Amino acid sequence: MANVGGVDRVLRIIIGIAVIAASLYVGDNNLWWILGAVILATGVFRFCGLYKLIGVNTCKVS
């Protein structure tokens, strides 16, 4: 069940890509790309486990 929608989804995708790109640019075996991948995945798949735990839903009800 989707619980991420609208502007929230777009921001997650943009921020996720930016964090991954910055991580690759910096190099030095950092693990920031994992955080970026998680943020990106929550935007792409429209589901956030933390939102589920705290009862938040940014999708519009149809």
Calculate Rg over the CA atoms of the chain: 13
Q: What is the pLDDT of residue 30?
A: 87
> Are 7 and 62 a contacting pair, CB within 8 Å?
no
Angstrom distance (rounded) from CA 21 to CA 45: 20
Q: 59 burial class (0-12, 13-18, 19+ CB within 10 angstroms)?
A: middle
Angstrom distance (rounded) from CA 35 to CA 18: 11
Q: What is the pLDDT of residue 62?
A: 54
11 token code pair: 């921001």
Q: What is the pLDDT of residue 38?
A: 97
How confident is the model over 29-50, as pLDDT tens digits?
A: 889 999 999 999 999 999 999 9
Supply the pTM of this predicted model: 0.89
Q: What is the pLDDT of residue 42?
A: 97
